[in-house]
Amino acid sequence: MMRGIASVVIILASTAAFPAFAADFAVKAPAEAPVRFSWTGCYVGANLGGVSSADANTGLSGNSIGFSSSGFVGGGQVGCDYAFAPGWVAGVEGRAAWSALKNSHPSSVTSLVTGITVPSQFTLGNDFLASTTARLGYSFADRWLVFVRGGAAWTREKADDAFMFPGGIAVDPRATVFRSGWTVGTGVDFAFDPHWSMTLEYNYHDFGGNGLRLTSPNGAFVNLLNLKDTIHAATVGVNYRF
């Protein structure tokens, strides 16, 4: 009889232990799916890169002198994005930057009174570059965004044309002007953190052709009939997104 009672106790104990043993495996919760990054929101950041220009100056004689220059550019940007459909992102951005574009090359000026032509040294620089653009992008691989942009652009030009009158009188007529134009570009954005992204892009700026009058304190002046100005910019930047 004691053996029978012991057998019953062992069976009951084994039955009670099995659910507890099985429960040890049931407490493990399934792994959570990773949270997908959202491009919706605003950001502020900084950029640095290189710029080059391809310009042309048409004088009174009708001859057009082409020249190019290159330099550094650096500034900041602020903008907002909105993910309006699976993978698609629309946004706006404003940026302003300091530019080190400057070129100096031999030229010539012709007197409107005597018709005499003398050699000169023409210098053109762009020390400010800004734009306001809309952009459209497509997101892939969760945190990558390729985009195109387009909008309005502005630059500040500083020009001078130094020459010497017959008789040894040196003059340097100059002018500083703001010019407006348009810009288009493309690039890629990578979000390496929920609040940080890095961007690499190229932008083309076109400010058309305009006449420009350079003057000096002693009354000498130079008329540029058609000064064309285009700028290429390649930059890398970082944005803080909030």
Of 114, 81, 109, 137, the closest CA to residue 214 belongs to 109
Q: 134-147: b or e for each residue (b if 16 or more CB lie within 10 Å)? A: ebebebeeebebeb
CATH number for 230: 2.40.160.20
Token readout for 44 is 């502020």
Residue 11 included in any domain = no
Q: Which two tokens stand for residue 129?
A: 């570059």
- 118 vs 147, which has greater pLDDT? 147
Cα–Cα distance for residue pair 155/177, rounded to 1 Å? 8
In tens, the pLDDT along 53-109 reads 977 776 554 455 677 889 999 999 999 999 998 899 999 999 999 999 998 888 888
Task: Report how far Cα 161 is from the mean position of its chain's Cα atoms.
Answer: 31
Q: What is the pLDDT of residues 49-62, one digit of tens each?
A: 999 997 777 655 44
Alpha helical stretches, state H, the chain? 2-26
Residue pLDDT, tens place only, 152-187: 999 999 999 999 887 788 999 999 999 999 999 999
| 15 inside domain | no
Query: Alpha-carbon distance 199 to 190, whole Å?
Result: 6
The domain tally of the chain equals: 1
For residue 41, the one-letter residue type is: G
Whether 2 maps to a domain, the answer reads: no
Sequence-distant (≥ 6) Cβ neighbours of residue 31 within 8 angstroms: none
The span from the CA of 140 to the CA of 147, in Å, is: 11
Structural domain contains residue 22: no
State in Å, rounded, how far the first CA of the chain is from the last one: 78
pTM: 0.81
Query: In this structure, are residues 197 and 237 in contact, taking their beta carbons and an 8 Å threshold?
Result: no
Domain that holds residue 141: 39-241
- Decide if 98 is inside a domain: yes
31: in domain: no
Q: Picking from 3-12, 149-158, 212-221, which range would have the lowest pLDDT averaged per residue?
A: 3-12
The C-alpha atoms of residue 25 and residue 237 are separated, in whole angstroms, by 49
Three-state DSSP class for 11?
helix
Question: Is residue 5 assigned to a domain?
Answer: no
Whether residue 14 lies inside any domain: the answer is no
* C-beta separation of 121 from 222 below 8 A: no
- Beta carbons within 10 angstroms of residue 63's beta carbon: 10
What's the Rg (C-alpha) of the chain?
34
pLDDT score, position 5: 40
